[in-house]
Amino acid sequence: MRFFITFFVSFFTLLSCQNEPLPTASLNAFPVSLDTVQEIPEPLPVAPPDYDTLQWTELDRLLPDIIIDLKYATDSNFVGEQMYACARAFLRPEAAAALAKVQSEMKQKGLNLKILDAYRPRPVQQRLWDKVPDRRYVTPPAKGSMHNRGAAVDLTLTDAVGHELDMGTAYDFFGKEAWYTYRDHPQDVLDNRKLLRETMEKYGFRGIRTEWWHFSFPGAGAGLSDWEWGCE
Protein backbone atom coordinates (compact mmCIF):
# COMPACT_ATOMS: atom_id res chain seq x y z
CA MET A 1 0.00 0.00 0.00
CA ARG A 2 2.79 2.36 0.90
CA PHE A 3 4.27 1.71 -2.52
CA PHE A 4 1.04 2.77 -4.25
CA ILE A 5 0.75 5.94 -2.18
CA THR A 6 4.34 6.84 -3.10
CA PHE A 7 3.61 6.07 -6.73
CA PHE A 8 0.49 8.27 -6.92
CA VAL A 9 2.14 11.14 -5.09
CA SER A 10 5.08 10.99 -7.50
CA PHE A 11 2.80 10.68 -10.50
CA PHE A 12 0.66 13.72 -9.63
CA THR A 13 3.72 15.71 -8.67
CA LEU A 14 5.10 14.98 -12.13
CA LEU A 15 1.80 15.94 -13.80
CA SER A 16 1.57 19.18 -11.87
CA CYS A 17 5.04 20.18 -13.10
CA GLN A 18 4.11 19.89 -16.77
CA ASN A 19 2.58 23.35 -17.00
CA GLU A 20 5.00 25.16 -14.76
CA PRO A 21 7.85 27.10 -16.34
CA LEU A 22 11.30 25.74 -15.60
CA PRO A 23 13.10 27.75 -12.95
CA THR A 24 15.88 29.90 -14.37
CA ALA A 25 18.42 27.97 -12.33
CA SER A 26 17.60 24.79 -14.30
CA LEU A 27 18.18 26.57 -17.62
CA ASN A 28 21.49 27.94 -16.47
CA ALA A 29 22.54 24.49 -15.30
CA PHE A 30 21.92 23.08 -18.79
CA PRO A 31 25.33 22.40 -20.41
CA VAL A 32 24.47 24.17 -23.72
CA SER A 33 22.95 27.61 -23.27
CA LEU A 34 20.05 28.71 -25.44
CA ASP A 35 22.26 31.51 -26.76
CA THR A 36 24.63 28.88 -28.16
CA VAL A 37 21.79 27.00 -29.83
CA GLN A 38 20.55 30.19 -31.50
CA GLU A 39 24.02 30.86 -32.93
CA ILE A 40 23.95 27.80 -35.24
CA PRO A 41 24.40 29.41 -38.68
CA GLU A 42 21.79 29.17 -41.38
CA PRO A 43 22.78 26.92 -44.30
CA LEU A 44 24.51 28.92 -47.02
CA PRO A 45 22.15 29.79 -49.87
CA VAL A 46 22.81 27.88 -53.08
CA ALA A 47 24.43 30.19 -55.60
CA PRO A 48 22.39 30.81 -58.76
CA PRO A 49 23.54 28.81 -61.80
CA ASP A 50 26.41 30.40 -63.76
CA TYR A 51 25.45 28.60 -66.98
CA ASP A 52 22.55 28.38 -69.43
CA THR A 53 20.06 26.09 -67.68
CA LEU A 54 18.07 25.62 -70.88
CA GLN A 55 21.14 24.05 -72.46
CA TRP A 56 22.74 22.29 -69.50
CA THR A 57 22.07 20.61 -66.17
CA GLU A 58 24.82 20.39 -63.59
CA LEU A 59 24.53 16.91 -62.13
CA ASP A 60 25.24 17.64 -58.47
CA ARG A 61 22.68 20.46 -58.47
CA LEU A 62 20.01 18.06 -59.68
CA LEU A 63 21.29 15.10 -57.62
CA PRO A 64 23.01 16.33 -54.45
CA ASP A 65 23.98 12.79 -53.37
CA ILE A 66 25.74 11.85 -56.61
CA ILE A 67 29.52 11.38 -56.47
CA ILE A 68 31.51 13.47 -58.95
CA ASP A 69 35.01 12.13 -59.63
CA LEU A 70 36.07 13.41 -63.04
CA LYS A 71 39.36 11.79 -63.98
CA TYR A 72 40.11 14.53 -66.52
CA ALA A 73 40.04 17.09 -63.69
CA THR A 74 43.10 15.30 -62.29
CA ASP A 75 46.25 13.94 -63.90
CA SER A 76 45.10 10.42 -63.06
CA ASN A 77 43.87 9.58 -66.55
CA PHE A 78 45.17 7.84 -69.64
CA VAL A 79 46.95 10.97 -70.95
CA GLY A 80 48.53 11.66 -67.53
CA GLU A 81 47.58 15.35 -67.64
CA GLN A 82 44.82 17.48 -66.13
CA MET A 83 42.36 18.41 -68.90
CA TYR A 84 39.58 20.19 -66.95
CA ALA A 85 40.42 23.25 -64.83
CA CYS A 86 37.90 22.00 -62.22
CA ALA A 87 35.54 19.09 -61.71
CA ARG A 88 32.04 20.05 -62.78
CA ALA A 89 29.75 17.51 -64.44
CA PHE A 90 27.13 18.64 -66.96
CA LEU A 91 24.71 16.87 -69.27
CA ARG A 92 21.93 18.04 -71.56
CA PRO A 93 18.74 18.39 -69.47
CA GLU A 94 16.99 15.36 -71.05
CA ALA A 95 19.97 13.11 -70.33
CA ALA A 96 20.30 14.47 -66.78
CA ALA A 97 16.60 13.83 -66.11
CA ALA A 98 17.02 10.23 -67.25
CA LEU A 99 20.09 9.86 -65.04
CA ALA A 100 18.02 11.07 -62.08
CA LYS A 101 15.71 8.08 -62.59
CA VAL A 102 18.71 5.73 -62.64
CA GLN A 103 20.02 7.34 -59.45
CA SER A 104 16.64 6.97 -57.75
CA GLU A 105 16.47 3.26 -58.60
CA MET A 106 20.04 2.67 -57.40
CA LYS A 107 19.37 4.48 -54.11
CA GLN A 108 16.49 2.09 -53.47
CA LYS A 109 19.02 -0.75 -53.75
CA GLY A 110 21.43 0.99 -51.32
CA LEU A 111 23.78 2.00 -54.16
CA ASN A 112 24.94 5.28 -55.66
CA LEU A 113 26.29 6.61 -58.95
CA LYS A 114 29.85 7.86 -59.34
CA ILE A 115 30.38 10.09 -62.38
CA LEU A 116 33.76 9.66 -64.07
CA ASP A 117 33.12 11.94 -67.07
CA ALA A 118 30.12 13.72 -68.57
CA TYR A 119 30.00 16.68 -70.99
CA ARG A 120 33.45 17.23 -72.44
CA PRO A 121 33.91 20.60 -74.22
CA ARG A 122 35.23 20.25 -77.77
CA PRO A 123 38.35 22.34 -77.02
CA VAL A 124 39.22 19.67 -74.44
CA GLN A 125 38.60 17.00 -77.09
CA GLN A 126 41.09 18.89 -79.28
CA ARG A 127 43.70 18.90 -76.52
CA LEU A 128 43.17 15.15 -76.00
CA TRP A 129 43.54 14.60 -79.74
CA ASP A 130 46.72 16.70 -79.83
CA LYS A 131 48.21 14.41 -77.20
CA VAL A 132 46.86 11.10 -78.54
CA PRO A 133 45.96 11.44 -82.24
CA ASP A 134 44.80 7.86 -82.46
CA ARG A 135 41.20 7.06 -83.42
CA ARG A 136 41.29 3.87 -81.39
CA TYR A 137 41.43 5.90 -78.16
CA VAL A 138 40.22 9.46 -78.93
CA THR A 139 37.44 10.63 -81.23
CA PRO A 140 38.73 13.31 -83.65
CA PRO A 141 37.33 16.70 -82.58
CA ALA A 142 36.04 17.45 -86.08
CA LYS A 143 33.75 14.45 -85.80
CA GLY A 144 33.11 14.91 -82.08
CA SER A 145 31.83 12.34 -79.61
CA MET A 146 28.59 12.11 -77.69
CA HIS A 147 30.54 13.54 -74.72
CA ASN A 148 31.13 16.71 -76.81
CA ARG A 149 27.35 16.93 -77.27
CA GLY A 150 26.62 16.63 -73.55
CA ALA A 151 24.84 13.36 -74.30
CA ALA A 152 27.24 10.78 -72.86
CA VAL A 153 28.29 9.89 -69.36
CA ASP A 154 30.99 7.60 -67.97
CA LEU A 155 30.08 6.20 -64.58
CA THR A 156 30.29 3.37 -62.12
CA LEU A 157 28.38 2.19 -59.05
CA THR A 158 29.29 2.53 -55.38
CA ASP A 159 27.80 1.11 -52.21
CA ALA A 160 26.04 3.39 -49.73
CA VAL A 161 29.33 4.64 -48.23
CA GLY A 162 31.01 5.36 -51.56
CA HIS A 163 33.10 2.24 -52.15
CA GLU A 164 33.18 1.35 -55.83
CA LEU A 165 31.64 -1.94 -56.86
CA ASP A 166 34.07 -4.25 -58.65
CA MET A 167 33.67 -3.78 -62.40
CA GLY A 168 36.69 -5.90 -63.33
CA THR A 169 38.94 -3.14 -64.73
CA ALA A 170 39.80 0.47 -63.99
CA TYR A 171 38.09 3.29 -65.90
CA ASP A 172 39.67 3.94 -69.33
CA PHE A 173 41.37 0.55 -69.33
CA PHE A 174 42.12 -0.18 -72.96
CA GLY A 175 41.86 -3.93 -73.37
CA LYS A 176 39.31 -6.61 -73.96
CA GLU A 177 38.82 -7.10 -70.20
CA ALA A 178 36.93 -3.76 -70.25
CA TRP A 179 34.54 -5.00 -72.94
CA TYR A 180 31.00 -5.55 -71.77
CA THR A 181 31.01 -8.74 -73.83
CA TYR A 182 34.12 -10.14 -72.07
CA ARG A 183 32.78 -12.96 -69.90
CA ASP A 184 35.93 -14.23 -68.16
CA HIS A 185 35.35 -12.24 -64.95
CA PRO A 186 34.06 -13.42 -61.57
CA GLN A 187 30.28 -13.62 -61.39
CA ASP A 188 29.98 -10.59 -59.09
CA VAL A 189 31.78 -8.43 -61.68
CA LEU A 190 29.44 -9.64 -64.41
CA ASP A 191 26.45 -8.99 -62.13
CA ASN A 192 27.63 -5.45 -61.29
CA ARG A 193 28.12 -4.58 -64.96
CA LYS A 194 24.75 -6.07 -65.84
CA LEU A 195 22.98 -4.08 -63.13
CA LEU A 196 24.57 -0.82 -64.32
CA ARG A 197 23.86 -1.49 -67.98
CA GLU A 198 20.31 -2.77 -67.61
CA THR A 199 19.30 0.12 -65.36
CA MET A 200 20.86 2.72 -67.65
CA GLU A 201 19.18 1.17 -70.70
CA LYS A 202 15.84 1.01 -68.89
CA TYR A 203 15.85 4.83 -68.82
CA GLY A 204 16.99 5.43 -72.40
CA PHE A 205 20.79 5.29 -72.28
CA ARG A 206 22.75 3.02 -74.61
CA GLY A 207 25.94 1.19 -73.69
CA ILE A 208 28.73 0.20 -76.06
CA ARG A 209 30.58 -3.08 -76.42
CA THR A 210 34.10 -1.95 -75.59
CA GLU A 211 33.71 0.19 -72.43
CA TRP A 212 31.62 -0.98 -69.48
CA TRP A 213 31.49 2.60 -68.12
CA HIS A 214 30.30 4.54 -71.21
CA PHE A 215 26.64 5.36 -71.93
CA SER A 216 25.14 7.76 -74.43
CA PHE A 217 21.66 9.23 -74.48
CA PRO A 218 20.49 9.31 -78.12
CA GLY A 219 17.32 11.26 -77.27
CA ALA A 220 19.25 14.40 -76.31
CA GLY A 221 19.86 15.17 -80.00
CA ALA A 222 22.14 18.09 -79.20
CA GLY A 223 24.95 19.47 -81.34
CA LEU A 224 28.66 19.57 -80.62
CA SER A 225 29.55 22.26 -78.10
CA ASP A 226 32.61 24.40 -77.43
CA TRP A 227 31.22 25.85 -74.18
CA GLU A 228 33.59 25.53 -71.21
CA TRP A 229 32.34 25.91 -67.63
CA GLY A 230 33.76 28.43 -65.20
CA CYS A 231 35.70 27.57 -62.07
CA GLU A 232 34.96 30.56 -59.81
Look at the alpha carbons of 208, 214, 219, 225 in this order and tell me if their dihedral is positive or negative.
Answer: negative
Our finding on whether 172 is near Zn ion (CB under 5 A) is no
Point out the residue whose Cβ comes nearest to Zn ion: 214
Q: How many residues does the chain have?
A: 232
**Residues 121, 226 contacting (CB under 8 angstroms):** yes
**Residues 98, 204 contacting (CB under 8 angstroms):** yes
Query: Which of 90, 139, 136, 142 has its CA nearest to residue 117?
Result: 90
Supply the minimum distance, in Å, between the C-beta of residue 228 and Zn ion: 18
Positions in 32-51 near Zn ion (CB under 5 A)? none
- Which among 134-142, 173-181, 194-202, 209-217 is the span making contact with Zn ion, rule CB under 5 A? 209-217
Task: State which of residues 120, 154, 180, 182 lies at the interface with Zn ion (CB under 5 A).
Answer: 154
**Runs of H (alpha helix) within 79-221:** 93-108, 122-131, 187-202
Our finding on whether 214 is near Zn ion (CB under 5 A) is yes
Report the residue number, 64 or 175, with the smaller CB distance to Zn ion: 175
Supply the minimum distance, in Å, between the C-beta of residue 152 and Zn ion: 5
Three-state DSSP at 91 gives strand
Report the residue number, 87 or 107, with the smaller CB distance to Zn ion: 87
**Residues 192, 165 contacting (CB under 8 angstroms):** yes
Report the residue number, 58 or 120, with the smaller CB distance to Zn ion: 120
- How far apart CA 121 and CA 18 sit, in angstroms, is 65
How many chain residues touch Zn ion (CB under 5 A)? 2
Supply the minimum distance, in Å, between the C-beta of residue 78 and Zn ion: 12
Our finding on whether 58 is near Zn ion (CB under 5 A) is no
Where does this chain bind Zn ion (CB under 5 A)?
154, 214
